[in-house]
Amino acid sequence: MRLTDLLHPHLDGVTTVVDTTGGGLRLEPYLHLPPGVVLHGDDGQPVAEGALALLSYGPDAELHGSEDACRAVLARMRPGARALIVFGHRAADLPYHRLLDALVAHRCQVLRAAPLDYVHLHAGAVVARTEELLPPHDFFGRPVPSDGHATALRIADEYVFADLASRSLRARVQDLERTVEEAERARGAAGQDGITDRLSAAVREKEQLAAALRAARDRVDVLQARVAMLEGSTSLRVGKALVTAARSPKRGAARLPGELYGLWRGRRRSAGPAPQSAPKDRTEPDAPLDGRFHLAHRALTAGPRDRLVLAGVLTPATAEDFAADVFVNRLLPHDGRPLVQRTDPDVLVVQLSACTGGGPWWLTGTGLAPDLDRTLAELLAETRVLGRPAVLWRDAPASAAPGLARFAWDAVLDAGTCVRLARLDPAVEGRERLREVFRADSTRVRLSQLARSAGAPDPLDERRVAVLAAPQGRTEVARLVGQVLGQLHRPAEVVVPDPAGLDELTAAGVPVRRGQPLAPWVADWTDLAEDRPETLLLDLMCAQEHSGADAVGHTPTSDDYVFVPSLRPLLVRRSLHLSGTAPDTWAAQGHRLFAVRGKGAVMSRMGEPS
């Protein structure tokens, strides 16, 4: 909630706002006071009827003010006066009991309290100095129609039920915290007890694999020597010449005597001194193999990484969906280990359904394919040598591959198959479904969880939007702040010529800066007179992620979820915005333009208002 949402419903009859914070806070940019309400500094005089005092209290006395200063202001309030107290404490840690006695002693009633969505201000409360019990307010700031004894009963009853709910929640939180602590201790003890055994077993397995590899190499050397001896024998070469002549009697029979004579002379030369020159018709032997295993290029990158590099045992559909946002190396049993060594992925992901639904890893973890289990163990060991995490994505019942639970995983992700927005049909699913998938169930959300566990670049960074604006005057500043903070998909930054008066955006965690935008996407909000609904950026980003377009916007014909040759851009890729080219030339230059239905349309194609 914004400070204006908490304050403005209680400004009826208020003509003066007195700032008594006195600390490092500057609340004026947060207030956006309506005409007729004037803000004054604190002169130490009593707060009379028709005035509202601004107070602050928090853990940092230099920034939020002290408890004693807050009590002193409450003592100066007169009947009919009001106060807004902002807290630096979080709502769950609010020490309201320290002010409760002072509020009661000075006949102050708390009309409304709510959490605030700021970096350094987390809660606020509106207080009134009164000689009689006032009706409380609901969540929207509207007074509840009640008075006298009924008001007291309502407040008392609500307090009892709220205390019951809070005590239950606190008990639940304590149980969860105790369970987590016990699990951490048990895991730590198990890790300390079993680390020596696991290390010894790994060393033994490594020695066995090394011995088997040496034996296999020796066997290969023997076989290669035998093959070379056979290929160099005169009997084999004569046989080849006869077979060639038999296949093509007309041409081969005529050349056969010459070839046999050449073989006879070559055999005599091999027993005597080296010849001066080789026969012209003698073919050169094949170049010896270099013994290296060559891999097809998949996703090998050089230089600083700006995208997550993922190696995994994945189904084809999952690998295709992930490849739209990250670099994907799909591992196969015969090349998984060298591919991990050469690509150095940020994280190794093993999808359970890839081990049960057919494919090269079918039957892994079931006990029916021990060679695949051994290969997977080698992959996990190689991943740990590189210092990368290994994650089991359990998108199917664990009983389908119980053997996977015996491996040591850095994390286990219990989640169903994620959804790529491009696979959804907007006309069938509906806009609300697209929003839900975009925020909670899309591939980028799942990949973001993997990236955070691996310390890799977050795929959700591709959803960051920069808003361009140039507000003029207090009215446009207030409108810009309201539109930005009201978006369900909040912008990552606001770029303006002058950041004066936009302190509330910074306090709400939205950076305000000059210069060129840094976010991947740009939304031009220069015209602040335009009405922008709270779902605007969310719907635009849903359309972009669904289509992969370079620009998303409206058309005069209200096209919806179709590619178009021209549009009025509302969301543009940063590189396209900085190119400076005119929007009517974008399609001719090969850029993809995607249209969504504008606010002027009554109903969208998806069966709901735009």
Over residues 66-80, the pLDDT tens digits come to 889 899 999 999 999
Instruction: Specify the pLDDT at position 228.
Output: 76
Instruction: Specify the pLDDT at position 257.
Output: 67
Opening angle at CA 465, ends 119 and 415, nearest 5: 80
Q: Is 438 left (phi over 0), alpha (psi -120 to 50) or beta?
A: alpha
Q: Do domains 3-145 and 461-595 have the same CATH topology?
A: no
Instruction: Specify the pLDDT at position 277.
Output: 45
State the average pLDDT for the chain: 84
Q: Confidence band (pLDDT; 50, 70, 90) for 194?
A: low
Instruction: Specify the pLDDT at position 608.
Output: 43
More confident residue, 597 or 305: 597
* Pairing verdict, β 390-394 and 347-351: parallel
Q: Are 428 and 309 in contact (CB under 8 A)?
A: no
Q: Calculate mean pLDDT across residues 539-547.
A: 96
DSSP-H helix ranges across 272-369: 316-322, 336-343
Over residues 94-127, the pLDDT tens digits come to 888 888 889 999 999 998 888 999 988 999 999 9
Distance CA 544, CA 426 (A): 13
Give whichever of 121-125, 175-179, 192-196, 278-282 has the largest mean pLDDT: 121-125
CATH of 309-454, one of 2.60.420, 3.30.420, 2.30.30, 3.40.50: 3.40.50
More confident residue, 205 or 272: 205
Q: Where are the domains of the chain?
A: 3-145, 233-269, 309-454, 461-595
Q: What would be the CATH architecture of the domain defined by 461-595?
A: Alpha-Beta Complex (3.90)
Distance CA 379, CA 312 (A): 10
Distance CA 97, CA 390 (A): 48
Distance CA 207, CA 193 (A): 23
Question: Which is it for the CA torsion 433, 438, 442, 443, positive or negative?
Answer: positive
Opening angle at CA 556, ends 555 and 561, nearest 5: 35
Instruction: Specify the pLDDT at position 98.
Output: 86
| pLDDT at 271 exceeding the cut of 50 | no
- In 48-157, beta strands by DSSP E: 51-57, 82-87, 108-115, 123-129
Instruction: Specify the pLDDT at position 308.
Output: 92
Q: How far is CA 587 from CA 94, 545, 567, 574, in A?
A: 56, 19, 10, 16
Domain 3-145 has CATH 3.40.50: yes
Specify the residue for token string 């664990």. Answer: 398
Over residues 456-491, the pLDDT tens digits come to 899 999 999 999 999 999 899 999 999 999 999 999
Nearest to 42 by CA among 20, 70, 14: 20
Q: Are 403 and 369 in contact (CB under 8 A)?
A: no
Instruction: Specify the pLDDT at position 262.
Output: 67
More confident residue, 170 or 341: 341
Quote the DSSP letter at residue 413.
E
Quote the DSSP letter at residue 462.
G
Q: Confidence band (pLDDT; 50, 70, 90) for 585?
A: very high
Q: Are 543 and 552 in contact (CB under 8 A)?
A: yes
Locate 24 and state its tokens. Answer: 């490092």
Q: Are 515 and 537 in contact (CB under 8 A)?
A: no
Instruction: Specify the pLDDT at position 198.
Output: 65
Query: What b/e readout covers 493-514, taking b as 16+ CB neighbours within 10 angstroms?
Result: bbbbeebebbbbbbbbebebee
Distance CA 560, CA 604 (A): 7
Nearest to 376 by CA among 352, 345, 342: 352
Q: What backbone phi and psi angles, to 5 degrees, belong to 121?
A: -125, 120
Q: Confidence band (pLDDT; 50, 70, 90) for 298?
A: low
Distance CA 583, CA 371 (A): 58
Instruction: Specify the pLDDT at position 284.
Output: 45
Distance CA 467, CA 465 (A): 6
Three-state SS letters, 432-452: HHHHHHHHHHEHHHHHHHHHH
Over residues 375-430, the pLDDT tens digits come to 999 999 999 888 899 999 999 898 999 999 999 899 898 887 788 999 999 888 88
Q: Calculate mean pLDDT across residues 274-298.
A: 48
